[in-house]
């Protein structure tokens, strides 16, 4: 059943459809007091097939409190379907910025977006949560701040062997998309002349920057590599802070290295 504009769902009025995925469709709606919210309706067929899917998302979201993450405000189950009521986050997805708006992100913007994303991952790690689906489609950007949405695949650490390295690898994919937009033809060459090359060959990155992204892309290796790098730098300069066994978790270590390799200009 398609929900038309001005359709009433509980105490909310549907304004427009704003996105869809494998498990459901999202609508922008207005509450009775005028606030904008998102109504996420689960597809009936997928809900029957994956009856515990929404349970994970609801439990995880209800335990998170962060300005860059949508709050779960309630659940509606009526003849129109089963809905989550989610806090509305402003901005366009990075996918829309890149492919619809044809935006070229500057190095300064990439640094800000990357830093914000790593800080969000630090928070999720502190709650033992793995998002599981970080992508340019699930990151909103309003020109200044980002928001991370769609926790449909989120799980607690250790569930089905999932680890934080999954989110770090997906974050590296996001950074690569942004870097390609930044360097444009410098990376890809003129239209029609692109050869089969790897991102290491195409993007004008330093050796350290390449190694950093490469480490993020390798499952379960970043924490070990970051620790080895910290130890080397500490021994070489005598001024570093030794990484303790209970030292920075992967996202915090990644953010520190990222900010060093992409300094503010």
In a shared domain, residues 69 and 161: no
Are 62 and 20 found together in one domain? Answer: yes
Is there a contact between 57 and 152 (Cβ–Cβ < 8 Å)? Answer: yes
Domain range for residue 22?
11-87
Supply the Cα-derived Rg of the chain in whole angstroms.
Answer: 21
Predicted model pTM = 0.86
Burial class (CB in 10 A: 0-12, 13-18, 19+), 263: exposed
Query: Which among 87, 115, 135 is the end of a domain?
Result: 87
Give every CB contact of residue 200 below 8 A, 6+ residues apart in sequence. 210, 214
pLDDT, one tens digit per residue, over 24-62 is 899 999 999 999 999 999 877 655 555 555 578 999 999
pLDDT band at 239 (very low <50, low <70, confident <90, very high): very low
Of 40, 64, 87, the residue at which a domain comes to its end is: 87
Tell me which of 87, 110, 138 is where a domain ends.
Answer: 87
5 falls within a domain: no
Residues 153 and 232 in one domain: yes
User: Are 125 and 227 members of one domain?
Assistant: yes
Measuring CA to CA, which residue among 116, 168, 169 is closest to residue 142? Answer: 116
The number of domains in the chain is 2
Range with lowest mean pLDDT among 120-134, 135-149, 238-252: 238-252
Considering only CA atoms, which of 139, 34, 40, 123 is closest in space to residue 86? 40
How many Å apart are CA 4 and CA 148, to the nearest integer? 27
Digit-coded pLDDT (tens) for 144-159: 999 999 999 999 998 8
Computed over every residue of the chain, the mean pLDDT equals 86
The residue-averaged pLDDT of 113-118 equals 98
* 2 is a domain residue: no
For residue 210, tell me if it sits in a domain: yes
Q: Do 155 and 130 touch, CB atoms closer than 8 A?
A: yes
Q: Catalytic residues, which ones? A: 133
Tell whether 6 is covered by a domain: no
The CATH number of whichever domain residue 47 belongs to comes to 3.30.200.20
pLDDT tier, 8 (very low <50, low <70, confident <90, very high otherwise): very high
Q: Do 98 and 85 form a contact (C-beta atoms < 8 A)?
A: no
Q: Is residue 83 part of a domain?
A: yes
DSSP states of 146-180: EEE---TT-EETTGGG--THHHHHHHHHHHHHHHH
> Does residue 56 belong to any structural domain of this protein?
yes
């Amino acid at each position: 059943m398609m929900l038309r504009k001005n359709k009433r769902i509980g105490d909310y009025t549907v304004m427009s459809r704003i996105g869809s995925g494998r498990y459901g469709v999202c609508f922008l709606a207005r509450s009775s007091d005028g606030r904008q919210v998102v109504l996420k309706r689960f597809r009936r067929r997928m809900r029957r097939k994956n009856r515990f899917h929404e349970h994970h998302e609801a439990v995880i979201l209800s335990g998170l409190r962060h300005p860059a993450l949508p709050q779960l405000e309630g659940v509606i189950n009526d003849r129109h379907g089963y809905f989550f009521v989610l806090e509305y986050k402003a901005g366009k997805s990075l996918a829309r910025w890149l492919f619809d708006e044809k935006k070229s992100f500057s190095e300064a913007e990439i640094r800000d977006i990357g830093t914000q994303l790593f800080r969000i991952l630090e928070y999720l790690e502190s709650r033992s949560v793995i998002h599981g689906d970080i992508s340019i489609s699930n990151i909103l950007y309003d020109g200044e701040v980002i928001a991370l949405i769609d926790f449909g695949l989120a799980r607690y650490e250790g569930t089905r062997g999932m680890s934080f390295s999954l989110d770090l690898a997906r974050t590296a994919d996001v950074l690569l998309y942004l870097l390609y937009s930044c360097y444009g033809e410098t990376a890809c060459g003129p239209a029609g002349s692109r050869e089969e090359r790897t991102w290491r060959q195409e993007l004008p990155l330093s050796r350290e920057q390449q190694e950093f992204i490469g480490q993020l892309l390798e499952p379960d290796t970043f924490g070990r590599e970051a620790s080895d790098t910290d130890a080397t730098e500490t021994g070489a300069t005598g001024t570093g802070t030794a990484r303790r066994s209970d030292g920075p978790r992967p996202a915090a270590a990644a953010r520190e290295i990222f900010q060093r390799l992409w300094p503010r200009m």
